[in-house]
Amino acid sequence: MKRLTALLLAILILSFAGVNVYAEGKGIGWYVKRNGRQRPVAIGEMCEIEDYGGYYIDKKLSDDSEKRVIYLTFDAGYDNGNVTKTVEILKEKNVKAAFFILDTIVIKNTDLLCRMFDDGHLVCNHTKNHKDVTLMTNDEIIDNLTDLERICEQKTGRKMAKYFRFPEGKYSIDSLKTVNELGYKTIFWSFGYDDWDNARQPDKSTAFKKIIDNTHNGEVILLHPTSSTNVEILPLLIDKWREMGYSFGSLDELVKE
């Protein structure tokens, strides 16, 4: 009894101190089941993202729509040379994308970041340091996102686009609400694959086939530009997508009602 009373008292004290003691339990890992060339559909609790400014696919399109669009997005925490190559490929192919960045890119690769802005890409918020947002208090979330905004503007003189992506896709309804109240739209994805581990890169043919076999209309695709495989196949992917009738949309178009 004494132990239970002490535990309840500790929770009460932490709550009054503004600590999100239940955040870890509320963490949800974003997931949508692949459906090949057909559009996947979020089910269950995943649908709740739409109530708080969350997007994962263009709902204005369908499998049968004449208009074919892909939204190309990259999570770029640092540059190992491949992010620069990715930006160069996009310039050569005349494709605009969205880059979700951390403060490492801003501080250590400011020239590259300025080039993203100059080339017309959207520079978006992926948190300052890739920490688990679901373990943060509301104030910590606000400070983390606005700190990255401030650093970016100080270094480049440019403002970040108001789009956010949760690190590793781990979110909670409370954190979604907080991000939305900051004026952000949260961008999840309808297709991504295991491309983030530089020590476990798939071969080019396997990666290319997996991506093309799962291409669907209104797709928000998540790629990591640090991947050597992605850099090698990106020109081929762009050419193949165009051959399939796809154009490359802006997130501004995705969230437009």
Per-residue pLDDT tens over the stretch 57-104: 999 999 999 999 999 999 999 999 999 999 999 999 999 999 999 999
What is the three-class DSSP state of 221? strand
Taking only the tens place, the pLDDT of each residue in 217-239 is 999 999 999 999 999 999 999 99
Helix (H) or strand (E) holding 186, with range, is strand 185-187
Which residue carries 């994308």 as its tokens? Answer: 97
Which amino acid, one-letter code, is at 208? F
Distance CA 161, CA 138 (A): 21
Contact assessment for residue 89 and residue 234, using Cβ atoms and an 8 Å cutoff: yes
Phi/psi for 127 (5° steps) reads 80, 165
Q: What is the mean pLDDT of residues 130-158?
A: 97
Contact assessment for residue 109 and residue 101, using Cβ atoms and an 8 Å cutoff: no
- Asked if the model's pLDDT at residue 145 lies above 90, the reply is yes
What is the three-class DSSP state of 187? strand
Token pair belonging to 115 = 């080039």
- Asked if the model's pLDDT at residue 166 lies above 80, the reply is yes
Q: Which spans in the chain are helix H?
A: 2-16, 23-26, 82-93, 103-108, 110-118, 138-156, 173-181, 204-213, 228-243, 251-254
Averaged pLDDT score across all residues of the chain: 91
The DSSP secondary structure of 17-63, one letter per residue, reads TT--TTHHHH-EE------TTSPP---GGGGGGGGGTEESB-TT--T
What pLDDT is stored for residue 11 in this prediction? 35
Phi/psi for 201 (5° steps) reads -75, 135
What pLDDT is stored for residue 6 in this prediction? 41
